[in-house]
Structure 1
Amino acid sequence: MCPQCHSRNLKLEGTEKKTEVELPPTPKPKATEYVQAIYGCEDCGAEVRATLPDGREPSEWGPLLRTEVVLGKVLDRLPYRKLRARLLRLGGKRLWMSTATLQGIVWRASERLAAEEEAIVRRLRASPWVHVDESIFRVAAKRWWLWVFVTETDVHFVIRPSRSRAVVHEVLGTDFQGKIVCDGWSAYLGWVLQRCWAHLLREGKEGAEKSPEARQLYGRLCALYHQLTRGLEKASLRERARRLRKGERALRGMLGRFGESEEEAVRHVVTYLRNGFSWWLTFLSHPKMDATNNRAERSLREVIVIRKIIGTLRKEEGANALTRLLSVLGTWALQGEDVPTRLASKLSRPS
């Protein structure tokens, strides 16, 4: 019927395709009852229980459901009460779980990934360079530190009560021969460094808002950074060496030009520049190394959101479980893996 005149005298003039996307009906949870044979060893008296055909012990919650719990808690950053509500929405009362049950699922999943975490640490220790950063994270209402160690293919988090170099030694080992891309924190002294240009330019920008002379210094820093990094991924080794010499001359020139300034804003930036003088240009000698520590800062950002949501972790065990899961799931994502499928596979295997 014509919506304008209500006529039924219609003539087909053509067709067009339209697509509508819809979710499938929510599947009901499937409960499977197993009869488990229990044997007694006649030699030593030990109890021996039969396993499922795939070699694992039957558990109250299946691996796909446990995967949903872990991903909801870690990747979706859901508090346990909201995670419980989500499961009830998916499967009704059959999926009701207490906070202790949900926490137990998350912690046991973390234990199953211990070998994956150890493999990540081994690869970090063998890497030619590692991005490292740290931020405050409270455990039992006390100030601890969240650390991240990241490369192109691996990320590793730890939460420790210390911000000292002991944490770097713990993760990378005392004989680490690679380079560290970092900010200016003293814990990294003793290794070959690449200081973060994003931090330097941030300091310069803050100074530029306070005085014309500091604005001039900031302009020179920005111009030099763009000259050194523009098209660098395609630059030959000779071109990199040329930029290295140019960068050294330019930085010395800035220290000479602004080093005697009496303006506080300028002196602050000059001190920051001078303290890291040996480490601003390391990236030019190592193809594919970044001039900034943005990779580590991006990795921290997601975990800082968790910190803002929960405020504090109650126990060190919870901190260790969280960081292991963040490390392994984050590494799989960096490597292009299907994270839910990979996790479900791990949780399906015999412990």
Structure 2
Amino acid sequence: MHLSHDDLTQIDEAVLQELEERALRALSVKLLADLKEAHERLGQNPSNSSRPPSSRAPWEGVVASEEVPDSGEQSPEETREPEDRDAPGRAAEETQEQETDRSSKRPGQPPGRAGHGRTQRLTVHEERHHHPEVCGLCGEPLTASHDTRAHSAHYMIDLILPSAEQAGLQVVQIKHVYQARRCGCGHWTAAQPAHQGPEDAWTVALSERHLAGPLLVALICALALRMRLSRRRIQEFLADWLGLSLGVATINQCVHEAGRALAPVEEQLLTEVRASELLHADETSWIENGHLLWLWVFTNATTTLFRIGRRSQDLLQGVLGGLFAGWLMSDGYWAYRDYDQRLRCLAHLLRKARGIEESLDRSVSGFGRALHEHLDALMESVYAAREGPPPRSLRQQHAAALNALFALCLAQAESQHAKTRALARELLNDWDTFWVVLDHPDLPLTNNRAERALRHWVIARRIGYGTRNAQGSRVFATLASVIETCRQRGHSPWLFIAEVMRERRQGRPAPVLPPPAAA
């Protein structure tokens, strides 16, 4: 760079007007060189520089909608001449045939090809026999006195948690044997694995007939969600440390099955979120199959709910609806304005004020400095009011400063500086929400609770690049909600997930979330 930060702060329109033509031309050459270099830096990405893929912004390289407008221009593939000039249409025909074959091919191996079964053989530690209770034909009770024969069986691998007698996890294999009994009427009735019925919103089954037991499913969820491991890394971990050979598809099925099992728990979370006296809300970008969505969080002192969807008023209304009557701490997204008892995060405002204060444009830096000073004084007054009642109300103490700041925002609402103009209008649009703490000093000044709740999952997004489909997004949000809520309440999320898996596989309702642990 030819011009330093200090140089640019001293250059404005008035200085340029006073320069002689020769000096102005020389300055223009420097500015042009600096501008080109800045554009080159801004244009750097993982595909044309040494920047790591994780530095790419979430919205870069994703599709905002599935509809792509037709520009009328030919693509490079359409304008390129075929390599075989003696047969001009052959290359295009071969390409079309290949694309047709690829699009018509169904996933999976062709019919008739030898399949792959489970090759790992583990010791059976326990056998559990299941018997039918009534005759499937006449309805008469069936007892041990009736003729019995084995009907079917399956193996389940599960874990035994550490105890005083044994340190570390223990892997066990349980053989479930389903018996058939013959009634006096001559009908054989066979016991069947318990399961939940199919649901239109889910493509994964929820059944007792599964290779992974409840605690093993909970461990896989912990590795996937809390430890942020990919399916391949989970497979490697289980093989290296527990001696288990599980396929990637089985591991993925475990995670999705846990999401379906926990789906009813979301209703409890939703009810508690809507009943909050103080709720923090925030959203961050999320990628689903290359499309840009948003990860929303709604959290209070004991409950956290995540949702993945569009950044829209419909999603917000779907979570809060017209039932929410508490205080809502949020950012400046316009959809939040439907709620009367709303307050804004002053930390966001403070960061924006610092940015304008440090601007190279001296004509607007004073606005940032005035806002920064006012926020510092206001926050100091609120902290003091929390220690003891002030001699007069905070609203009266800051009345003159607020009036001056309001006039300053009106003056900067049409500023030529884009960030200053945007901040001034933001303040004017949500004026009352910023100063609610003057009347209620006990309310929070920042939205740190929501930002902290999002931080772990933002890292997971950077590592895993989002989700692949709508079911994967729902599973991720559901598991994240249960994990965060259990941790807030001082309980193990993994034991709760295992308990839910156990009950739901038996066709019974999901247990309720545990209450907050006593301090």
Shared fold (TM-score, shorter chain, > 0.5): yes
Alpha-carbon distance between aligned partners in 1 of 2:212 and 2:471, rounded to the nearest angstrom: 22
Alpha-carbon distance between aligned partners in 2 of 1:204 and 1:108, rounded to the nearest angstrom: 47
Alpha-carbon distance between aligned partners in 2 of 1:288 and 1:40, rounded to the nearest angstrom: 71
Any conservation in 1 of the 2:353–2:369 contact (CA below 8 Å)? no
Q: Is it true that 1:323 corresponds to 2:477 in the alignment? A: yes
Aligned to 2:288: 139
Q: Is it true that 1:213 corresponds to 2:335 in the alignment? A: no
Query: What is the correspondence of 1:1-351 to structure 2 with a 5 Å cutoff?
Result: 29-38=171-180, 48-49=191-192, 57=208, 59-92=210-243, 95-160=244-309, 162-192=310-340, 193-210=342-359, 211=362, 212-236=365-389, 239=390, 242-257=393-408, 259-260=410-411, 264=417, 266-286=420-440, 288-349=442-503, 350-351=506-507
Any conservation in 2 of the 1:208–1:215 contact (CA below 8 Å)? yes
Alpha-carbon distance between aligned partners in 1 of 2:338 and 2:423, rounded to the nearest angstrom: 23
Any conservation in 1 of the 2:382–2:441 contact (CA below 8 Å)? no
Structure 1 spans left out of the alignment, 5+ residues: 1-23
Alpha-carbon distance between aligned partners in 2 of 1:99 and 1:224, rounded to the nearest angstrom: 56
SS of residue in 1 equivalent to 2:227: coil
Alpha-carbon distance between aligned partners in 1 of 2:174 and 2:428, rounded to the nearest angstrom: 67
Deviation at 1:38, TM superposition (A): 4.0
Any conservation in 2 of the 1:283–1:289 contact (CA below 8 Å)? yes
Q: Which amino acid aligns with 1:329?
A: I
Alpha-carbon distance between aligned partners in 2 of 1:70 and 1:240, rounded to the nearest angstrom: 54
Alpha-carbon distance between aligned partners in 1 of 2:169 and 2:272, rounded to the nearest angstrom: 40
Deviations 1:276-316 (Å, cap 9, x if unpaired)?
Answer: 21111224444643121121122122111111112231110
Farther off after superposition, 227-236 or 291-300: 227-236
**Number of equivalenced pairs:** 319
Alpha-carbon distance between aligned partners in 2 of 1:226 and 1:288, rounded to the nearest angstrom: 12
Deviation at 1:336, TM superposition (A): 1.5
Closer/same/farther in 2, CA of residues 241 and 60 from structure 1, 3 Å limit: farther
Structure 2 spans left out of the alignment, 5+ residues: 1-165, 195-206, 508-519
Q: Which amino acid aligns with 1:333?
A: R
Alpha-carbon distance between aligned partners in 2 of 1:47 and 1:347, rounded to the nearest angstrom: 24
Any conservation in 2 of the 1:38–1:48 contact (CA below 8 Å)? yes
Any conservation in 2 of the 1:26–1:90 contact (CA below 8 Å)? no
Aligned to 2:46: none
Which is higher, the Rg of structure 1 or of structure 2?
2
Aligned to 1:14: none
Deviations 1:304-329 (Å, cap 9, x if unpaired)?
Answer: 11111122311100000110000011
Closer/same/farther in 2, CA of residues 213 and 283 from structure 1, 3 Å limit: closer
Closer/same/farther in 2, CA of residues 31 and 288 from structure 1, 3 Å limit: farther
Q: Which amino acid aligns with 2:192?
A: R
Higher relative CO (CA 8 A, sep ≥ 6), structure 1 or 2? 1
Any conservation in 1 of the 2:278–2:329 contact (CA below 8 Å)? yes
Alpha-carbon distance between aligned partners in 2 of 1:191 and 1:152, rounded to the nearest angstrom: 20
Closer/same/farther in 2, CA of residues 249 and 337 from structure 1, 3 Å limit: farther
Could you say what the CA RMSD is over the residues aligned between the two structures, in angstroms?
A: 2.9
